[in-house]
Amino acid sequence: IAAASPSTVCRITQTGDGTRVRLLANINLLSELSTAKELNAEGIGLYRTEFPFIIRPTFPSEEEQYLVYKHLFDEMADREVTIRTLDIAGDKALVYANATSGKNPDLGLRSIRFSLRNRPLFEQQLRAILRAGAEARHLRIMFPMISSLDEFRDARSVVDACVRDLKREDLPHHPGPSIGMMVEVPSVVEIMPALAREADFFSIGTNDFIQYTLAVDRTNEKVADYYRAYHPAVLRGLARVVRAAKTAGREIAVCGEMGHETAYIPFLLGIGIRILSVGPQFLPALRERIAGLTLAEAERHARLLLAEDTLAGALKVLETPTSG
Ligand code: PEP
Ligand code: MG
């Protein structure tokens, strides 16, 4: 058996010149937790709670959800876990709820919009999370698809109400979770400074951010060649979002697919990203890629990329090898 290289077995990830990068795992099913741990994820950066909903014939009860989330927190007791509230969408539909029907499900009553419109279901989920995370050192709850400050406040107020209810009912629960949001809708780019005053942390869902910035259905093969992460509007939007979060002293991660794509790692580090959450299978290669870069060259690469106005120009910079 070939010996694993030190950078694959070590939990700490850093660039060649010593900049620390935290690598977390995205999890859809609890069965993926063992791979995440074996491959030394520092925690779970995105637990997609829609899967316990999708695999059942009807909405899971608070108790059923509690058991799933409790298992997650128990398994990861020594590591950070970020749990995302229900994110149903066109490609993650519930057979027993017709919320995602309509001509444009991904522009419809999806995600946090569904949760806010169905408050008892949202409360059930939040109560299950707060109860399951009662012992967690840091409980981190993240809302998907936030598109305005008002919507973030509405969602946060439901968490506060659930904490108050659980206290009144004398049920063990986490009293003060960190509340974060995903950056997936381009409308948040302009209002990031305001959001960063209220959200505790951010995670960029590049899959949806690209889909909505470029008006390209991420699941439609016919327009797959319009789905370009290197579009100047996508790259500059990402850079602005990261700058706004950092200026406010807020943590910002990337949890979309871009976060493991070798070609984009120098850009993401270059604009200031220091936390990546990826499918666990990508962790070893990502660790190697980061170790082969220096921050100075990543920053230079990002500057060059951000200066390009065209797709062709950006692609050319992207294809110019950086070491690693
Ligand atoms: C994203 O949009 O990039 C993301 C991580 O969320 P999902 O893929 O679950 O939509
Ligand atoms: Mg998304």
CA-nearest residue for atom 9, ligand 1, is 48
Q: Which atom from ligand 1 is nearest to the alpha carbon of 206? A: 3
Residue pLDDT tens, the chain, 324 long: 444 444 444 578 999 999 999 999 999 999 999 999 999 999 999 999 999 999 899 999 999 999 999 999 999 998 999 999 999 988 888 888 888 788 888 999 999 999 999 999 999 999 999 999 999 988 999 999 999 999 999 999 999 999 999 999 999 999 999 999 999 999 999 999 999 999 999 999 999 999 999 999 999 999 999 999 999 999 999 999 999 999 999 999 999 999 999 999 999 999 999 999 999 999 999 999 999 999 999 999 999 999 999 999 999 999 987 865
Which ligand sits nearest to residue 91's alpha carbon? 1
Query: Which ligand has an atom closest to residue 255 CA?
Result: 1
* Distance in Å, CA 304 to ligand 1 centroid: 27
Output the CA 97–ligand 1 centroid distance in Å: 21
Ligand 2 centre to CA of 266 (Å) is: 23
The number of the ligand 1 atom at minimal distance from the alpha carbon of 50 is 9
Residue ID of nearest Cα to ligand 1 atom 6: 205
**Ligand 1 atom closest to Cα of 48?**
9
Task: List own/partner pairs for 301-307 with CB under 8 A and 24 or more apart.
Answer: 301/266, 301/267, 301/270, 302/239, 302/266, 302/267, 302/269, 302/270, 302/271, 303/270, 305/230, 305/235, 305/267, 305/270, 306/232, 306/235, 306/236, 306/239, 306/271
User: How far from chain centre, in Å, is Cα 152?
Assistant: 16
| Angle at 140 (CA atoms; ends 240, 7), nearest 5 degrees | 75
CA dihedral 275→280→282→285, nearest 10 degrees, is 80
Query: How many whole angstroms from 270 Cα to the centroid of ligand 1?
Result: 22
Q: Read off the DSSP letter of residue 135.
A: T
Mutate to test the pocket of ligand 1, among 184, 217, 260 (most ligand atoms within 8 A of CB): 184
Distance (angstroms) between ligand 1 centre and the Cα of 84 equals 10
Is 0.80 surpassed by the pTM of this model? Answer: yes
Give distance in angstroms: CA of 209 to centre of ligand 2.
Answer: 8
Q: Is the ipTM of this complex over 0.85?
A: yes
End-to-end CA, the chain: 25
Q: Which residues line ligand 1 (CB under 6 A)?
A: 46, 48, 87, 184, 205-208, 255-256
